[in-house]
């Protein structure tokens, strides 16, 4: 007999789920893959074995292989991509900027305005459509419209994404994202002069209790999921600050809502107040200057610059870096001129 409890968590920002089963006192010795297959009849044995190979099956907190024999009282945890839904995806030649690829994975530089995967109102032109044109087939991920994906970034955020090209790599990378062992660095422009040279923002992030379409920070921890953002100041302009952010967690809109919570919304972020121009620096002239800047970068000035992870075959740590998107670079050049000379670039 098996304890009937199933821990099925859905994280908006993670494209995989966590299952937990506890073996009954009367459990006979049984291979862990067979143990899970008996309980998860909707999941193929191959997917479960691939998860074991990638270290995504744990018994009592330790990774095990498929031939581990489950004993009475064992707590068996499994990380898998969400089960597929039936949907037709069409390959599209979107001229993706693929900065690296091998037989296991691909690293992509996503432009602003591109949705990562199909969703309501976005049935074509997504990164997934472009990936299917490039690679013809990708492993099933969270559902049929997310093949190969283990993480994502917002539509208007630019920068780096890794994509799995087979089931083993998908499971291997998914475990690293689930365990928060990947290295992720973002660059962003925040309104205002952040006082500290570096710091950490800690506060649960979850759906707003007033508007479910946006996220909120819950410092008391009563709602949302734990979230931690480390930041460092790279450059100051007085009215804005260029920052580097490293994430321990990857919650939906984490950087955007964390900086809004400390009074420094990201430049151009229409959802979290970053499109409102502060009344400073001789307001009419400054306002006109910033309106032009917002038209050049009509999105949150947020760029996924660096991604590091352990390669599924070499088992070596690899890092990929993507230069700042052109619109953010243009804004920074204009800010530098204004901050040092007071001159406005039209």
Nearest to 76 by CA among 65, 85, 86: 65
Q: How many residues does the chain have?
A: 346
N-terminal to C-terminal alpha carbon distance within the chain: 73
| Partners of 185 in beta bridges | 246, 306
- Kindly report the three-state secondary structure assignment for every residue of the chain: CEECCCCCCCCCCCCEEEEEEEECCCCCCEEHHHHHHHHCCCCCHHHHHHHHHCCCEEECCEECCCCCEECCCCEEEEEEECCCCCCCCCCCCCCCEEEEECCCEEEEEECCCCCCCCECCECCCCHHHHHHHHHCCCCCCCCCCCCCECCCCCCCCEEEEEEECCHHHHHHHHHHHHCCCCEEEEEEEEECCCCCCEEEEECEEEECCCCCCCEEEECCCCCCECCEEEEEEEEECCCEEEEEEEECCCCCCHHHHHHHHCCCCECCCCCCCCCCCCCCCCHHHHHHHHHHHHHHCCCCCEEEEEEEEECCCCCCEEEEECCCCHHHHHHHHHHHHHHHHCCCCC
Among this protein's residues, is 275 annotated catalytic? no
319: its two tokens: 């890092």
Q: Say which of 154, 269, 275, 327 is annotated catalytic.
A: 154
Buried b (16+ CB within 10 A) or exposed e, 104-142: bbbbbbbbbebbbbbeeeeeeebbbbbbbebbeebbbbb
Q: Which residues are the active-site residues? A: 154
């Amino acid at each position: 007999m098996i304890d009937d409890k199933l821990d099925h968590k859905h994280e908006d920002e993670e494209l995989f789920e966590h299952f937990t089963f506890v073996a009954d006192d009367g459990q006979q010795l049984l291979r862990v893959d067979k143990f899970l297959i008996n309980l998860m009849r909707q999941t193929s044995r191959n997917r479960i074995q691939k998860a074991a190979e990638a270290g995504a099956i744990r018994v009592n907190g330790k990774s095990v292989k498929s031939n581990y024999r489950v004993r009475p009282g064992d707590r068996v945890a499994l990380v898998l991509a969400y089960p597929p839904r039936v949907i037709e995806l069409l390959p599209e030649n979107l001229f993706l900027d693929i900065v690296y690829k091998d037989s296991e994975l691909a690293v992509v530089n996503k432009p602003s305005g591109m949705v990562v995967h199909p969703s309501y109102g976005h049935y074509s032109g997504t990164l997934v459509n472009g990936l299917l044109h490039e690679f013809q087939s990708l492993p099933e991920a969270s559902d049929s419209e997310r093949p190969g994906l283990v993480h994502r970034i917002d539509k208007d955020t630019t920068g780096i994404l890794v994509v799995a090209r087979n089931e083993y790599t998908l499971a291997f990378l998914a475990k690293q994202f689930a365990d928060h062992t990947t290295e992720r660095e973002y660059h962003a422009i925040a309104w205002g002069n952040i006082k500290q040279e570096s710091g950490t923002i800690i506060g649960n992030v979850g759906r707003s209790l007033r508007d479910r379409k946006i996220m909120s920070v819950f410092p008391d921890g009563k709602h949302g999921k734990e979230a931690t953002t480390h930041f460092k100041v790279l450059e100051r302009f007085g009215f804005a600050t260029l920052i580097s952010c490293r994430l321990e967690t990857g919650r939906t809109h984490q950087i955007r809502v964390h900086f809004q919570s400390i009074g420094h919304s990201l430049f151009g972020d229409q959802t979290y107040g970053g499109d409102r121009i502060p009344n400073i620096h001789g307001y009419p002239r400054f306002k006109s200057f910033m309106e032009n800047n917002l038209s050049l970068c009509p999105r949150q000035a947020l760029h996924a610059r660096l991604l590091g992870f352990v390669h599924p075959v070499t088992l070596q740590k690899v890092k990929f870096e993507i230069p700042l998107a052109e619109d953010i670079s243009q804004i920074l050049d204009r800010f530098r001129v204004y901050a040092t000379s007071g001159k406005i670039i039209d």
